[in-house]
Amino acid sequence: MNKRFDILICGAGMAGLSCAALLATGAAREKLNIRVIDAGHEPVFDYKQDVTLRVSAISAGSMQILETAGAWAGIAAARVFPYREMLVWDSRSVVDSPETLHFNAAEFGLPELGVIVENVLIQQVLLQRLRELGVEVQFETRVSDVQWLDGPTAIRAENGQKFTADLIVGADGAGSRIRNSASISVSSWNYPQHALVTHVHCAKPHRGIARQRFLANGPIALLPLGGDRVSIVWSTTADRAEAALASSDAELSKTLTRISDGVLGELTVDGPRGKFPLRAQIAKEYVRQGLVLVGDAAHCVHPLAGQGVNLGFADVAELTDVIAAALKNGEHPGDLPVLRRYERTRKGANATMLYFIDGINRLFLTKAPALTRLRATGMRLFNESGPLKRRAVRTALGLNGL
């Protein structure tokens, strides 16, 4: 049987689910018939289990968006780990040098710079919220064929189900089937790095400070979890990441202690491990008649600045505002002029962030002596720059629109 919707969201990751919750919470809720479909199994968060591998640094701006979606209270009540300060330094220098970048929530009148949250927890609370709002999310429903017609778009899933909708939201991640089916091309490049992710126990207290040390092959981030534990994201060569994945707990603990310069004393591996290839990618178009891309389907950035899903949340906040305004004016949410308003705001903002992050990664990977000297001077000047530093941090925290 063919199921007909106003809006079909393909992908129940953090971007797709938050998009559905914002649409179903806002003023447009009465007017829209929404469905979410996803290829995978329903994600399950169990607070009795240890912290899961995939965590994200969630900015103050994203917390506000999740609050509007009616999900933040549930997430915060379950398990989040705030960080109030952040230190970023170069391995050619030491953590307490004048070149170390220091960010403090108090400078921005905030209780914290952000929080570390498990991805699966965000998904679970959004799913609960969607159940309350009466929006159905269908798992194990992988999009296989898409027919872009003049009227509503027809989608066929691998399980044989058929859907039609006036607006398709492509929230199906970096390899987006929706984006590819519309022949939307991307600019993309692989980084010479993979991210090795694990959790460790640290001998010295982390004091709610997120830390990042830039090494010759990429940064190691130490993100505060509960107790004396931190989540590690180590961007390094594919070979090193592979070796780290295969090494014993004792060997990996020794390596992580050494490359973090003992900033948190001895580190002891205390959690699962995973390895992720890193790439930058940006879709050349975000919208077509009846189609819009959000989250990683539209853009992927290097994780060094913890911006990926924060950009995705900013996308869905903008898109749902544009749709609500269009409905109020009697316009159709799937029409190209409406969707272009979203594209105009988000495409430039995401590209600026992507190239900024890419530039930082390249600057720290360079071995040219002149550039490494310039980098040290630049970090010291940035630290002392006042308004420039505040503006950059407010953008990273997603606060500029608030």
Which residues here bind ligand FAD, judged by CB under 6 A?
A: 10-16, 37-40, 56-57, 119, 142-143, 171-173, 177, 195, 197, 233, 276, 295-296, 303, 306-310, 312
Please, are residues 137 and 12 in contact by the beta-carbon 8 Å criterion? yes
Specify the residue, 25 or 56, whose C-beta has the smaller distance to ligand FAD: 56
Cβ 18 to ligand FAD, closest distance in Å? 8
Residue 189: partners with Cβ closer than 8 Å, 6 or more residues away = 279, 280
Four-residue CA torsion sign, 220, 386, 358, 348: positive
CB of 166 to ligand FAD, least distance (A): 19
Cα–Cα distance measured from residue 116 to residue 79, given in angstroms and rounded to the nearest whole number: 9
Which residue number, 56 or 93, has a Cβ lying nearer to ligand FAD? 56
Cβ–Cβ under 8 Å, residues 60 and 84: no
Q: What is the helix, strand, coil percentage profile of the chain, to 5?
A: 40, 30, 30
Q: Measured from the CB of residue 31, what is the shortest distance to ligand FAD in angstroms?
A: 25
State the minimum distance, in angstroms, from the CB of residue 387 to ligand FAD: 25
If residue 350 lies in a helix (H) or strand (E), which one and from where to where?
helix 336-365
Closest separation in Å from C-beta 368 to ligand FAD: 28
Looking at beta carbons only, is 138 or 247 nearer to ligand FAD?
138
Nearer to ligand FAD, 273 or 375 (CB): 273
> Which CB, 93 or 123, lies closer to ligand FAD?
123
What's phi and psi for 82, nearest 5 deg?
Answer: -75, 150
3-state SS, residue 210? strand
Q: Which is nearer to ligand FAD, 93 or 310 (CB)?
A: 310
Q: How far apart are CA 163 and CA 133, in angstroms?
A: 21
Residue closer to ligand FAD by CB (options 290, 303) is 303
Q: Which residue has the tokens 């710079």?
A: 113
**Greatest Cα-to-Cα distance within the chain, rounded to the nearest angstrom:** 66
Residue closer to ligand FAD (CB basis): 312 or 333: 312
Closest distance of CB 148 from ligand FAD, Å: 15
Q: Do the Cβ atoms of 25 and 133 come closer than 8 Å?
A: yes
Find tokens 């993979």 and name the residue. 194
In the complex, what is the shortest distance from the CB of residue 331 to ligand FAD, in angstroms, rounded to a whole number?
26
* Distance of closest approach, residue 30 Cβ to ligand FAD, in angstroms: 26
Q: 188: phi > 0 → left, psi -120 to 50 → alpha, else beta; which?
A: beta
Under a CB-based contact definition with an 8 Å cutoff, are residues 37 and 157 in contact?
Answer: yes
